[in-house]
Structure 1
Amino acid sequence: MTTIDELISGYTDEPGYFDFAKWGPISRPVVEEERALVDVQARARFGSEVALTEQAGRVRRAVSAVVGFPADQVVFQPDTSSGLVHTLFGLTGQVLMSPRDYPSGPVAATRAAAAMRVLEPVWMDLDHDVVTPAVVQRHLTDRVTAVAVSLVDYRTGYLVDLEGIRQVIGDRLLIVDAIQGFGVVDAPYGVADVIASGGQKWVRAGWGTGFLALSERASATLTPVFSGVAGTELRLGGSYHETLPTLPGAAAFQITNSDPIAQARFSTALEGIASVGVAAISREIADRASRLIDIADEFALPVVSPRDEAERAGIVVLEPSPEQMTTLTAALLNHGVTATVRDTTVRLSVHLSTDDDSFDLLRGALTSFGTTVYY
């Protein structure tokens, strides 16, 4: 069992980093695991291949421990988008989704609709720019076979009500792009049929890491369109001119053998999270996000992301007046505060390693901003 302080001690990012919603600096244990396996791969000592090949099973078990899906219903993916492409190209009927979600889902849906001609995206008209059970219910018809949502909206930081959405959609497939909450949101993943996520953000495992988890209903419903060598019941040395059967369950949704070192990085990060517990991590993230909101209020910067802990995760979005945007951006830059700036908003995101030094840098930036703003 790892304590939360021990988990925090493994992070080495420098103060001022408030951009975990973009990507999370990897931890020291992840770095050490990668170095160890790179050395194994470089030396190719007799029998060393076992240490590499065993990572596929390890990563399935690590994901299973966090999301609660059986390990045999989990398959490693190099990123969230790959998992969503597998899902939406394999879906038939109408899929209800938000046109404002991160483009991984909408792009996969429109590409699948154009190429396969068996899927039709249905776009929700949102209330207050967020997806709620009421919005979903208003758009449901008998032709809708699946609903796709983001666990946390990348623009607004809004945490979707998965249980409420499950209640209104009945036995339709519930597809969840979990990337902006996976690892820091204690979500009821058991109500979902498909979960896709990457490990480069809140899990802090680096790029090239992710997974796709399927319920039994999803496994029976989805067609593994992009099932390659690794997803096929294949015996090397034969003839391959005939259609080969796919592997059962989630294993069918893969193309080729994955990078074992990426799998090891992902496993190491997830094992640390599971040892502490997502619920404990979520409480710490909530406290830091609340502190961030308090500082924004102190400097009269409008917070346009949710304030209610039940509706937010680790993202806080500020929207200064248009004439203040350049000044605020410059103040953050000059004080070494890393954030995501888009059009009219500044997105700040916190993690366990967001400490007093980081908040001091942010306060210094906002103090500088405040002294140059005239009302």
Structure 2
Amino acid sequence: MGRAALDEEAGLRHVLEHVRFGALAVTDGQHERVKRAVAAVTGFRPDQVVFQPNTTQALTHAVFGVTGDIALSLGEFPALPFAVQRASEVLKVGAPRWIGTDHGRVTPGNLRDQLDSRVAAVAVSLVDYRTGYLADLDGIRQVIGDRLLIVDAMQGFGVVDAPLHLADVVAAGGQKWVRAGWGTGFLALSDRALDRLTPVWSGWTGTDSPTQPMDEVLPPARGASAFQLTNGDPVAQARLAAALEQLADLGVDLVQEKVASTVSRIIDLADEHGIPIASPRAEDERAGIVVLDPGADRLTALTAALHNHGISATTRDGRVRLSPHASTSEETLEMLASALVSFATTSPL
């Protein structure tokens, strides 16, 4: 977690450990605070935002509410395909429309010819978790017309200054780029989404009642608040709010600039040592993920070199993923350079 989230958690835990009459007003106010913080960095209004414990639950709320088919790639992070398939099996008001991609990339061009009148929504990742490809939300919006655009922003939220306001549904967690820790996330819904989505998962806190409902089951609220099951963890809400307030103060554009510079240096290091890059090189097609493709026969050597030099990396599908943050230091880059030297000078078996 980042320092802002850690400090916020420590402060609230102190309040909870020494609680006195009236002290819980601090925790009670975190729900509205986190909605304002999300709104400030997404372009949505606070009333269009509802806190969620993770991206998957947020996406499930959204796709279960769609009437009609949802077009998406089967190669998306599992949270999306699973939610769409489960909704289809249970509700039977639509089906997943598995679309072809351009080498794993969902682009406006390959979407255009795969949509028909039965497709009510298109779901896509802001940044593909395997390739690091940054989706062209502007182009996709133009191609899909007034269909709902559902965006899993997890792999890019907080690190790329994307036009999220073009989406109808944005879901993300705070544990990755914004470093707010686990149990933090949100769902943002446009007015069009609120008009068309049915709040299937709507619990007792998702009503318009200002107090706890008693002895009656009220209808869902008329806004984003309908898409919740119960009260959120106020400490988690505070962590996410603090992290996003810091991000808003700094500016997502400045974070993107810093990360883009570091990504370019990592790409240069990989080129210097002859390691193929599987992620985009162009800045307008990438965010903060660099994917190295050393080949099956050299994968173990690369992961061992990174581990031995203290570099944390993710290995998926025979490739190695590096994700630098804005805070990634010169010392860390020197450690990475040493790891790649070690890899390059290790003879293949």
- Say whether the fold is shared (TM-score over 0.5): yes
Q: What is the TM-score of this pair, normalised by structure 1? A: 0.91
**Once the two structures are superposed, what CA deviation does each residue of 1:226-254 show, in whole Å capped at 9, x if it has no partner?**
100110244547323xx411112101000
In 2: Cα distance, 1:172 partner to 1:318 partner = 35
Aligned residues: 348
In 2: Cα distance, 1:291 partner to 1:277 partner = 22
Q: 1:207 is matched by which residue type in structure 2?
A: W
Which structure has the higher relative contact order (CA within 8 Å, separation 6+)?
1
> Which residue of the other structure, out of 153, 171, 180, is the alignment partner of 2:155?
180
Identity level (%): 55
Aligned to 1:69: 44
Q: Is the partner of 1:119 in helix, strand or coil?
A: coil
Matches within 5 A, 1:34-113: 34-113=9-88
Aligned to 1:326: 300
Contact map agreement 2:208 2:222 (CA 8 A) in 1: no
Aligned to 1:272: 246
In 1: Cα distance, 2:317 partner to 2:100 partner = 22
Q: 1:238 is matched by which residue type in structure 2?
A: M
Gap regions ≥5 residues in structure 1: 1-25
- Per-residue deviation, 1:188: 0.5
Is 1:281 the equivalent of 2:258?
A: no
Aligned to 2:194: 219
- Per-residue deviation, 1:221: 0.4
* Pairwise CA RMSD: 1.2
- Per-residue deviation, 1:119: 2.0
> Which residue of the other structure, out of 230, 245, 249, is the alignment partner of 1:256?
230
Contact map agreement 2:204 2:213 (CA 8 A) in 1: no
Q: 1:309 is matched by which residue type in structure 2?
A: E
- Per-residue deviation, 1:343: 3.3
Is 1:137 the equivalent of 2:112?
A: yes
Q: Aligned pair in 2 of structure 1 residues 367, 167: CA closer, same or farther (>3 Å)? A: same
In 2: Cα distance, 1:245 partner to 1:237 partner = 11
In 2: Cα distance, 1:296 partner to 1:282 partner = 21
Q: 2:162 is matched by which residue type in structure 1?
A: A
Q: Aligned pair in 2 of structure 1 residues 236, 336: CA closer, same or farther (>3 Å)? A: closer
**Once the two structures are superposed, what CA deviation does each residue of 1:330-352 show, in whole Å capped at 9, x if it has no partner?**
11111111100123100011111
In 2: Cα distance, 1:224 partner to 1:299 partner = 52
Q: Is the partner of 2:95 in helix, strand or coil?
A: strand
In 1: Cα distance, 2:61 partner to 2:212 partner = 25
Q: 1:151 is matched by which residue type in structure 2?
A: L
Aligned to 2:322: 348
In 2: Cα distance, 1:291 partner to 1:137 partner = 35
Q: Is the partner of 2:113 in helix, strand or coil?
A: helix
- Per-residue deviation, 1:110: 0.5
Q: 1:250 is matched by which residue type in structure 2?
A: A
In 2: Cα distance, 1:305 partner to 1:149 partner = 17
> Which residue of the other structure, out of 285, 304, 307, is the alignment partner of 2:278?
304
- Per-residue deviation, 1:190: 1.4
Contact map agreement 1:324 1:373 (CA 8 A) in 2: no
Q: What is the TM-score of this pair, normalised by structure 2? A: 0.98
In 1: Cα distance, 2:214 partner to 2:330 partner = 62
**Once the two structures are superposed, what CA deviation does each residue of 1:12-33 show, in whole Å capped at 9, x if it has no partner?**
xxxxxxxxxxxxxx11221111
